[in-house]
Amino acid sequence: MLTTNYIELEEEYGAHNYDPLDVVLERGEGVWVYDTEGKRYLDCLSAYSALNQGHCHPKILNATVEQAWKLTLTSRAFRNTQLPQLYEDLHRLTGFDMALPMNSGTEAVETAIKAARKWGAVVKGIPENHAEIIVCSNNFHGRTIAVVSFSSEEQYRQDFGPFMPGFKTIPFGDSAALRAAITTNTCAFLVEPIQGEAGILIPPAGFLAECAAICRENNVLLMCDEIQSGLGRTGKMFAFEHEGIRPDVVTIGKALSGGFYPVSAVLASRDVLGLFQPGDHGSTFGGNPLACAIARAALSVIVEERLAERSAELGPFFLAEIEKIKSPMIRGVRGRGLWIALELNEPARPYCVALMKEGILCKETHGNIIRLAPPLTITHDEILWAVERIRRVVGTADIR
Ligand code: PLP
């Protein structure tokens, strides 16, 4: 089939809830992907940080195939050999007492919300149906009805009401607003340590630490959504570590499978996750042996290949190289680890198309921001290769 045929089929029979670049990918290896005509591209999006380990990592691939030959799904009606081992790996790696496995990131967030409400009712004594969760403006936690109920993005909510009550929004980065918003019915504060979808927005230094203290003083759970920022992306295993804090609840997903399968989880203390009783919550696929074997391999790659450390080493180098590009089109550059936002003075989409022609895949976010988030396995030379092309497109070329 020709490239145009794939695009036509997708446009004809698929819902148009995405606006992909017109590149049809067929194969991937490490930081590289190949289209149907064999052209090679450097992946600078990593499926929104799900591919921190790179495409088709051999160790995760082997774990997938080995487990797929043995057993893929038991449902949680029965036990399997992989789930307890994933629990143990997560506990050893993160220090959290317990985990609750799900599939998509959004489901992990939904699960965290349920856990917080349950804790609010059972432990804090919040009257039934009165629990409040505080969130931040510009948040992105997924697309289900409960989650878009507290989105501040007009399009995410337009025509999808009625919405879920029980959420209050404060400005991202404003800890005084958090203090002011807390009531006796507040069970949790849900926050991305760095807002990815909003354009890699880094809050003022000290914000998370102040929030952690405010939550502790007021008996409110601090819940960090690390679905995009976690598992090495920012140069630490978790982005909250940059502020030396320890949240009560953490959601992870994306790179938890290295891109092989949807795997997510909620991590928390026994005081919180220990409250779930049989029948309170579940998922047919959550915690299945294939997902768990994949997640175990994906986590071991992050550790063995020192991906967080690589991100800490190579991120500042990449950022400094991007900062050297002088162009009236650039409004600003920021980043943490291998997670860089290049904010332009005009719509970023044509630049992403031009970068694609140069062999770099990235995607605009919020109109004028280009997010650069390559697999954490990227090398120094590959970064220089990318910078040369980014300079060509953003620095000089007339792309219109
Ligand atoms: N939370 C954050 C911070 C995210 O970045 C995302 C996805 O981009 C999600 C939740 C939703 O994850 P998923 O698309 O796997 O449902």
Q: Which of 336, 326, 333 is nearest to 391 (CA)?
A: 326
368 in ligand 1 pocket by Cβ < 6 Å?
no
For the chain, the farthest-separated pair of C-alpha atoms sits apart, in whole angstroms, at 62
Catalytic residue, chosen from 225, 248, 285, 318, is 225
Closest Cα to atom 2, ligand 1: which residue? Answer: 141
Which atom from ligand 1 is nearest to the alpha carbon of 50?
15
Q: DSSP alpha helices (H): ranges in the chain? A: 3-13, 46-49, 58-70, 82-94, 105-119, 145-148, 154-157, 175-181, 207-217, 270-273, 289-304, 307-323, 349-358, 380-390
Sheet of 363-365: strand order equals 330-335, 340-344, 369-372, 363-365
pLDDT recorded at residue 398 = 55
Looking only at the bridges linking them, the beta strands covering 264-268 and 98-102 are antiparallel
Task: Return the number of other C-beta atoms located less than 10 Å from residue 386's C-beta.
Answer: 24
Domain map of the chain by residue range? 3-57+306-394, 71-304
pLDDT recorded at residue 399 = 56
d(CA 23, CA 37): 10
Is position 225 annotated as part of the catalytic site? yes
Is position 254 annotated as part of the catalytic site? yes
Q: Do residues 17 and 143 touch, judged by C-beta distance below 8 A?
A: no
pLDDT recorded at residue 125 = 98
Q: Do residues 25 and 35 touch, judged by C-beta distance below 8 A?
A: yes
d(CA 182, CA 219): 10
Ligand 1 centre distance from Cα of residue 349 (Å): 21
Which atom from ligand 1 is nearest to the alpha carbon of 254?
15
Which atom from ligand 1 is nearest to the alpha carbon of 228?
5
Residue corresponding to tokens 């190949």: 34
Closest Cα to atom 10, ligand 1: which residue? Answer: 141
Ligand 1 centre distance from Cα of residue 142 (Å): 5
CA 145 to chain centre: 19
Cβ-count burial 355-369 (b if 16+ within 10 Å, e if not): bbeeebbbbbbeebb
193 in ligand 1 pocket by Cβ < 6 Å?
no
pLDDT tens by residue, the chain, 400 residues? 999 999 999 999 999 999 999 999 999 999 999 999 999 999 999 999 999 999 999 999 999 999 999 999 999 999 999 999 999 999 999 999 999 999 999 999 999 999 999 999 999 999 999 999 999 999 999 999 999 999 999 999 999 999 999 999 999 999 999 999 999 999 999 999 999 999 999 999 999 999 999 999 999 999 999 999 999 999 999 999 999 999 999 999 999 999 999 999 999 999 999 999 999 999 999 999 999 999 999 999 999 999 999 999 999 999 999 999 999 999 999 999 999 999 999 999 999 999 999 999 999 998 999 999 999 999 999 999 999 999 999 986 555 5
Taking the CA atoms of 24, 27, 33 and 37 in sequence, report the sign of the dihedral they define: negative
Q: Do residues 396 and 50 touch, judged by C-beta distance below 8 A?
A: no
pTM, two decimal places: 0.98
Ligand 1 centre distance from Cα of residue 141 (Å): 5
Helix (H) or strand (E) holding 189: strand 186-191
Catalytic residue, chosen from 43, 118, 140, 167, is 140
142 in ligand 1 pocket by Cβ < 6 Å?
yes
228 in ligand 1 pocket by Cβ < 6 Å?
yes
Catalytic residue, chosen from 254, 285, 318, 363, is 254
Sheet of 40-43: strand order equals 25-29, 32-35, 40-43, 360-361
Q: Do residues 348 and 369 touch, judged by C-beta distance below 8 A?
A: yes
pLDDT recorded at residue 186 = 99
Closest Cα to atom 7, ligand 1: which residue? Answer: 142
226 in ligand 1 pocket by Cβ < 6 Å?
no
Choosing among 1.10.3720.10, 3.90.1150.10, 3.40.50.720, 1.10.10.10, the CATH entry for 3-57+306-394 is 3.90.1150.10
Which tokens belong to 270?
Answer: 């026994």
pLDDT recorded at residue 201 = 98
Q: Do residues 283 and 103 touch, judged by C-beta distance below 8 A?
A: yes
The fold adopted by the segment(s) 71-304 is: Aspartate Aminotransferase; domain 2 (3.40.640)
pLDDT recorded at residue 395 = 85
